[in-house]
Homo-oligomer: A and B are copies of this chain.
Amino acid sequence: MKKKRISITDIANELSVTPSTVSRALNGGGKVSEKKRQEILSLAKKLGYRPNPIAKSLLENKTHTIGLIIPEFTHHFYSRMLAGIESVTSKAGYQLLICTSNEKQKQEIKSTQTLLDARVDGILATISKMNDKFQHLQEVMDSGTPLVLVDRFSEEIETPYVISDDFNGAFSAVDYLCQSGCKNILHIKGPANLSTTFNRFMGYKEALRKHEIEVKEELILESSDANLVEKIRFCLKNQQVDGAFAYSDYLAFEIYRAASDLKIPIPGSLSVIGYADEPLATYINPTLSTVNQQPFEMGATGANYLLNKINNPDIGLEIRSLETKLVIRDSCTKRAAKECQFS
């Protein structure tokens, strides 16, 4: 059913020249008499000739396509990251082949295989949460396909990555809480095994240390805890909590709920800061202070880096850590104005 696309040979026949000549005329490479070139060009245009990139790919062993593996589509964070990636790749004339892992290792492995089979020129991946093996990523690297990790990385795989500066992001948030007078700051940790969980926790602790506040076990909760909701409630009730820093905006929202149940006013008696600057942060009441990770920029940086690596295979193992932005909204008591951003 597909209409036959016209090929270089078609226009060669029409003009009684060889395909080589047409190719040369079209690519400007070799020498072709000006007259022929014009003839060829105009006929090509008239016929609506479009080169077949498949043939070129076969020849050059390049596809001008980059493969992307993301854990899921639905999080705003990944959508923004995707938008950042797309903005760079489309500008550079690369196509984007998309796969998802659904946060499952098995699907991630399948995706890498798919992308390798498709002969993509490079792969951009956010590894899934549950990863404990990395052989599939090692295979990508062994195949010589440039690989750049975004947002999450692992010590076990030696490839460049672009991440957000979680340590400083968390630090700035907790530092802010301390400066505005909070003494008992609750922290809800993220999923175990994630570097982001670890780094945000470290940032939290470091900020407390700076302000000479003791780190109390009772104030640290795990998001995976089946009784999280009750524990938050218990904590707010019994620990004189006056500040809270959550691994995510969604967890911060759980704190809102508990506080609302307990009639603890935010920000009156409790200042809350979340993480990620998801849209919900501006919709809940009071609007939520949070740490913006600049996912668009993260995606764009990763894509740029990958394209760079595709064209200069020798560039080394580089790591980029993107600055975060502390966004203070209505969920915190304001401290004396400083260099942070209000919104």
Contact = CB atoms under 8 A, between A and B. Distances in A.
Interface stretch (A123-131, A175-183, A235-243, A279-287): A279-287
Interface in A111-127: 114, 116-119
A323 interface: no
A79 B73 contact: yes
Interface in A221-259: 253
Interface string A94-107: 01111110000000
Interface string A59-72: 00101010000001
Given A96-B98, A284-B284, A63 B73 contact: no
A164 B283 CA distance: 26
Interface in A68-97: 72-76, 79-80, 82-83, 86, 90, 95-97
Interface size class of A (residues with CB under 8 A): 35 or more
A50 interface: yes
A48 B74 CA distance: 35
B61 A86 contact: no
A52 interface: yes
A217 interface: no
A144 interface: yes
Contact of A279 (B114, B119, B144, B280): B280
Copies of this chain assembled into the complex: 2
A31 interface: no
B50 A73 contact: no
A249 to B, nearest CB: 9
A55 interface: yes
Contact of A83 (B72, B90, B313): B72
A30 interface: no
A73 B117 CA distance: 26
Nearest to A314: B1
A75 B79 CA distance: 8
A54 B57 contact: yes
Contacts of A79: 73-75, 79
A142 B2 CA distance: 9
Nearest to A58: B54
Interface in A1-48: 1-3, 5
A282 to B, nearest CB: 9
Contacts of A1: 144, 313-314
8 contacts: A1-B314, A3-B144, A54-B63, A73-B82, A76-B76, A83-B100, A279-B279, A280-B283
Given A2-B145, A53-B117, A280-B280, 8 more contacts: A54-B54, A73-B79, A74-B76, A86-B98, A86-B99, A90-B99, A95-B118, A285-B285
